Amino acid sequence: MKRRYIKLFAYMLLLVAAGTSCDNNFEEVNTNPNVPNTVTPDLLLPNIIRAPINENMGTAWGIGNSVMQYTAKIQFVNEDRYLWGEQNGIWNVTYSTLREVQNMYNIATNSSPVQKNYQAIALIMKSWMMSLVTDAYGDAPYTEAIRGKDLMYFPKYDSQETIYNGILKDLAEANGLLAPENGAVNGDILFGGDVMKWRKMANSLRLRYLMRISNKRDVKADMQAIVGNQTATPIFTSNSDNAALRYLPTVPNQFPLYTSRVGSFDEFRLSKTLGDKLMQLNDPRLGIFARPTVASVAAGKPAYVGVPNGLDDNSALTYNGGAQNVSRVGTNYYIDGFGTPTDANLNIAKGIIMTYAELQFILAEAAQKKMITGNAKEYYEKGITASFNYYALDVPAGYLTQPDVAFADAKALELIGTQKWIALFYNGLEPWFDWRRTGFPAIKPGPSNLNQNRVPVRFTYPSSELSLNKPSIDEAVQRQGPNDINTSVWWDK
């Protein structure tokens, strides 16, 4: 027995000696030559663009389109009745993608020469993603976000005002960094490496965000400085500048809804609010946004019928005689929302960040409020025209002069807000954010809503944050208000 233990001890010593003798070669032996330890910015950029755009569009489909009464549900109607629960997608995707954004920025900064265009794109994407988070949730981690390597495991929640200050600063810096001579941009699935379009996006977003906070501070000088010097601060000048991701027939750049079940897609139907407005205006965009009812087509008399929002399950499913008698969403948002671009579907079913049409409505509002120089009516009509052209449609004769469209000072803001709402159909969560600021158009909760006749104005914080970072949330709640869907964010108070 003693001899056995001596042999075992000798064997263990031999293993230790062998391990020690090869320690100097450990990294070499365990390094996979086929897996790089470092990456270049162009490898990170596609997902930095794709992931948040897809999530924004997905959240819009499930929540945003219903709350803004573009669509209404006929089955599983809780979201349409404001029984939302947690909506964590924007939060989770933003903070996970921001790690890649920071990595791309760091790699570009540490390159020789510095890759300024990638730095700028990182700042722009960070700004847009953080705007989604703060507009949806309010106060949120910002200055200490994604700093786990600095041992900041419990980031503080910055005030929304602080976040907006950072967003506007970063976008202005991005505008100054972007230039063709600062190197080619590869991996750009949004603009194909066109740095001028990134500059236009940065400055157009600045105008959006300045308008967003315009009820809290005087932004006239900042807006005029951008609009008044478009050599230094270029902005969108046509639909060709739109920040909108064109989806492709195959993964990973497919339209997010393409893999949905038909039944899941058809739970969402044309909202009566949108349908009635478009029929009142004889607006051909209705044929893009929705389809005639199955029953009316079978009878040879195609007709559009919307469903009221906020009905209970039975009332929603049986409205107007059932599903065959209410309009489904347009085919380009599902059946034809991919494939070879044509004149008919070139701009439909895109992943939208911002469009030229939206910018024109921002400028129309700013001009009407004397925040910038310019003609509000001209901007307004350019916005309508851009929206029609986006869908390869011409503005019908007489459309701009009919009573509910013709520009008039007495109701200018309502007209601008209503046409902007139409133009923002399925534009992520932007229509919800903008409605909260303007109140246009009038959105009334449905008859069976579960939120005491109130339209929600934010998402609640994720429960994971309540578990892992509660002191920071408590501080934010004390500053902002209760953590529920009826607490207005800073710019909305």
Task: Give the DSSP letter string of 426-480.
Answer: T-TTHHHHHHHHH--S-----TT-SSTT----SPPPPHHHHHHSHHHHHHHHHHH
Instruction: Decide if pLDDT at 341 tops 70.
Output: no
Look at residue 293 and tell me if it is in a domain: no
Look at residue 104 and tell me if it is in a domain: yes
Task: Give me the mean pLDDT over the 345-353 stretch.
Answer: 75
DSSP H/E element including 243? strand 243-245
What are the tens digits of pLDDT across the range 260-317? 777 788 999 999 999 999 999 999 999 999 999 999 999 999 999 999 999 999 999 9
Distance CA 367, CA 121 (A): 29
- What 443-448 contacts at long range (C-beta under 8 Å, 24+ apart), as own/partner pairs, is 443/67, 443/68, 443/69, 443/273, 445/82, 445/309, 445/310, 446/72, 446/80, 446/81, 446/308, 446/309, 446/310, 446/311, 447/308, 447/310, 447/311, 448/81, 448/310, 448/311, 448/312, 448/315
Distance CA 283, CA 289 (A): 11
C-alpha closest to that of 387 among 449, 445, 431, 443: 431
Distance CA 464, CA 452 (A): 27
Look at residue 134 and tell me if it is in a domain: yes
At position 86, the amino acid (one-letter code) is: E
**What's the alpha-carbon Rg for the chain, to the nearest Å?**
26
Place of tokens 């902005």: 235
How many CB atoms sit inside 10 A of residue 358's CB? 27
At position 253, the amino acid (one-letter code) is: N
- Tokens in use for 284? 């051909």
pLDDT at 33: 61
Task: Give me the mean pLDDT over the 37-43 stretch.
Answer: 87
Distance CA 435, CA 444 (A): 12
Look at residue 330 and tell me if it is in a domain: no
Place of tokens 């300024």: 116
C-alpha closest to that of 439 among 452, 425, 420, 453: 420
- Confidence category of residue 25, pLDDT binned at 50, 70, 90: low
Distance CA 199, CA 277 (A): 36
Task: Give me the mean pLDDT over the 382-386 stretch.
Answer: 98
Instruction: Decide if pLDDT at 5 tops 70.
Output: no
Look at residue 279 and tell me if it is in a domain: no
**Are 186 and 42 within 8 A, CB to CB?**
yes
pLDDT at 18: 46
- Confidence category of residue 348, pLDDT binned at 50, 70, 90: low
Look at residue 58 and tell me if it is in a domain: yes
Place of tokens 């996006």: 201
C-alpha closest to that of 248 among 159, 331, 350: 350
Phi first, then psi: give them for residue 273, nearest 5 degrees: -60, -50
Number of domains in the chain: 1
pLDDT at 223: 98
Task: Give me the mean pLDDT over the 462-472 stretch.
Answer: 95
Instruction: Decide if pLDDT at 395 tops 90.
Output: yes
Distance CA 307, CA 272 (A): 5
Look at residue 169 and tell me if it is in a domain: yes
- Tokens in use for 390? 């986006």
Regarding predicted confidence, which is higher, 255 or 243?
243
- Tokens in use for 404? 């509910």
Q: What's the angle, vertex CA 148, arms to CA 142 and CA 153, rounded to 5?
A: 80
At position 120, the amino acid (one-letter code) is: A
Look at residue 182 and tell me if it is in a domain: yes
**CATH code assigned at 64:** 1.25.40.390
Domain of residue 391 covers 43-246+343-492
